[in-house]
C-alpha cells in the first residue's frame, strides 16, 4: 500500500505523555475503540493498559532515551495490539 486508505481496526491503543510534576514524565497506554473502521473520527476509552516508569523530562524532551527504553515502549504497543486482535500466540 502506497497511501493511507483511511481504514482502521475498531480496537487500538492511545498513548499520552503526562508530566508528573517532579521533573519526570510517564507515558500512559489505554485501550480505545473507534466509532467506525473507515476514517474513524472518535475513539472511546475502554480501559487502562499500562504506563512506563518515570522518564526524566530533559532526557525525554531530547529524545535521548536508551535503546532499551525505546524498545520497551514499542514492545508494549505491539504486544497490546496483538492481544486486542486475538493474535497472541
Nearest to 43 by CA among 12, 22, 72, 65: 12
**Whether pLDDT at 1 is above 80:** no
Distance, in Å, from the CA atom of 89 to the CA atom of 76, rounded to the nearest integer, reads 16
pLDDT at 89: 74
User: What total number of domains does the chain contain?
Assistant: 1
What Cα–Cα distance (Å) separates residue 85 from each residue in 26, 56, 59, 64? Answer: 26, 33, 33, 32
pLDDT, one tens digit per residue, over 15-57 is 999 999 999 999 999 999 999 999 999 999 999 999 999 999 9
Q: Is residue 2 part of a domain?
A: no
Q: How many CA atoms lie within 13 A of 72 on its CB side?
A: 11
DSSP for residue 58: H
Q: Is residue 63 part of a domain?
A: yes
Which residues form the domain of 71? 11-84
pTM here is: 0.89
Q: Is residue 77 part of a domain?
A: yes
Amino acid at each position: 500500500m502506497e497511501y493511507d486508505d483511511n481504514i482502521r481496526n475498531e480496537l487500538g491503543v492511545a498513548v499520552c505523555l503526562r508530566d508528573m510534576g517532579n521533573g519526570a514524565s510517564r507515558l500512559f497506554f489505554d485501550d480505545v475503540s473507534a466509532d467506525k473502521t473507515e476514517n474513524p473520527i472518535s475513539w472511546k476509552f475502554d480501559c487502562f493498559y499500562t504506563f512506563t516508569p518515570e522518564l526524566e523530562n530533559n532526557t525525554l524532551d531530547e529524545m535521548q532515551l536508551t535503546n532499551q527504553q525505546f524498545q520497551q515502549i514499542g514492545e508494549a504497543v505491539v504486544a497490546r495490539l496483538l492481544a486486542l486482535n486475538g493474535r497472541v500466540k
